[in-house]
Amino acid sequence: MRIACAQVNTVVGDLEGNLALVRDAVRAATAQGASLVLTPELALTGYPPEDLLLRPSFADASREALDALAADITEGVAIVGFVEHDEDVHNAAAVVADGRVQAIYRKRFLPNYGVFDEARYFRAGDRPMVLDIDGARVGMVICEDIWYPAPVAAELAEARLDLIACISSSPFHLAKGDARERMLQTRASDSAAALAYCNQVGGQDELVFDGRSVIIDHSGDVLARAPMFEADLLIADVELDLAAGRRLREPLLRRLPRPLDLQPVEVVSAPVGSPDAAGDALPTVAVGGASPPLPCEEAELWGALVLGVRDYVGKNGFPGVVIGLSGGIDSALTAAIAVDALGPDRVRGVAMPSVFTSGQSTDDAATLAQSLGIRLDVIPIAPVVDAFEAQLADVFEGRPRDVAEENLQARVRGTLLMAMSNKNGDMVLATGNKSEMSVGYSTIYGDMAGGFAPLRDVSKTWVYRLASWRNREEGREVIPQATIDRPPTAELRPDQRDSDSLPDYEVLDPILEAYVEQDLPPAALVERGFPDDVVRRVIGMVDRAEYKRRQGPPGIKTTPRAFGRDRRMPITNRYADG
């Protein structure tokens, strides 16, 4: 059987646009001889639709889009993700062939952890589904269904399948793709069945979907893999009869009971015509061709950040972005990502020196702008800061200069950037990283101002790694080496360094990873060798900064536990662990 996975980039709520994407991909696949085409989970609505699912009209419109699509599919079989409204709402997959919907499978495992809230919206399905497609036994699953060995995967194994068809919208975090693919290989091998896995690609608010669809044979070996972070049409020929032979040679499944009431749904479909490469609508991994190499960790994270910025800006209709360039590494990295995502003509840098800004910072910002080929505007902020301080002189009288005056500078910069955004329509990209956001080393309404924060879930340690990798990858100083080498500083007072207020990042970031992402208590961190006073200081900063993070812009999820959709802590909270 020739199988295709249509790895498409959908937009939540754009039913008409998503329908066109799916229709074109199915046509391109059948033009190349694919008799079974998979699309991502909720391909017609986009994923995740969130509270749109609470509107009955939205689910009804999803069904109308499905019926319109089905009328156009007259060759082969397509499995299409959509929202089904039948008294309740279901995350469903429709089997479409011969111009009509012939079967509907309802997702049985509804994830309700991390970034997922599916139990808030959907009713779970309660039965497996096996299709009979030209004599081949094909089992249906949707994303979370396949992650557990039982009961869904076990029931399908008991059904002696030839192929498992899994449609998915599995969001990215670093290294997740490897773990997911290993799991899929295990499911295929345990079931002695081939497996086709079609994942969504693209950015949706904080989430990035990495694609990396894959087709695996009955022994668990990868036959073909789609690239990460790109729309793609993955096609492979799968010898389904080999699965039956393996089950006879290795009769492990004989010990499993056969399901008593699992009757295959016979799918009536017209055969596809002769392959016609001219029908391509997406980049295609050639049948039998080599799969693209997997990226290194830095390239994988870079690809996620670039796609997340490109889709957030593009899908929300912004003409471009504006970024405050301080001469520091965070703003430099943000600008480099934005240029790769949007092109230099859609990225505008703004340097806003104060009386505390060093000449090196101004020079590094100019060097970066020249390296990236972007426009750089220079707006000195000293006159504006002086005006603010003059207005506040009476109410500040008798009190020493402190963080209030420092933060005025950051807030002036935020105001200027937002004014440029209002005037030109470009979105402000905030440049703060996860280390700073964790401990509140940021100014609310100042450097936190913006519409999107690409580095919100990227630690300072990773900021340095990515900057150095980007230079090596390009073979030149995309980001000035002087920017990478200089000690980090906010330059809000004379001779300021981040280390004046924070532990060194080599100490801080491992503590943050353990506390924020792994939920380890203070005692466990001390057992790992971190000083008790440093641990308790850092944890206290993290807990106190929750109110700031709630008011910051969204950013791209890159770790297993990002702030916001993943980690949800109360702002008002007096509990202290350990």
Residues that are catalytic: 41, 107, 143
Q: Where are the alpha helices (DSSP H) in 250-328?
A: 297-315
Question: Of the candidates 341, 298, 361, 541, which has an alpha carbon nearest to the alpha carbon of residue 452?
Answer: 341
Query: Which region, left, alpha or beta, applies to residue 202 given φ > 0 means left and ψ of -120 to 50 means alpha?
Result: left
Residue 5: strand, helix, or coil: strand
Q: Which element (helix H / strand E) includes 427? A: strand 427-428
**For every residue of 335-367, which 3-state class applies, written as one string?**
HHHHHHHHCHHHEEEEECCCCCCCHHHHHHHHH
Q: Which element (helix H / strand E) includes 101? A: strand 100-106
φ, ψ dihedrals at 204, nearest 5°: -140, 100
Buried/exposed code over 475-508 (b: 16+ C-beta within 10 A; e: otherwise): eeebbbeebbebebbbbbeeebebeeebbebeeb
- CA–CA dist 543, 439 (Å, integer): 8
- CA–CA dist 335, 347 (Å, integer): 7
- As a dihedral over the C-alpha atoms of residue 65, residue 71, residue 73, residue 76, rounded to 10 degrees, the angle is 120
Question: Of the candidates 338, 507, 360, 353, which has an alpha carbon nearest to the alpha carbon of residue 426?
Answer: 338
User: Please, are residues 355 and 349 in contact by the beta-carbon 8 Å criterion?
Assistant: no
Question: Looking at residue 401, what DSSP letter applies?
Answer: -
- CA–CA dist 26, 282 (Å, integer): 10
- CA–CA dist 345, 420 (Å, integer): 16
SS3 content of the chain, % helix, strand, coil (to 5): 40, 20, 40
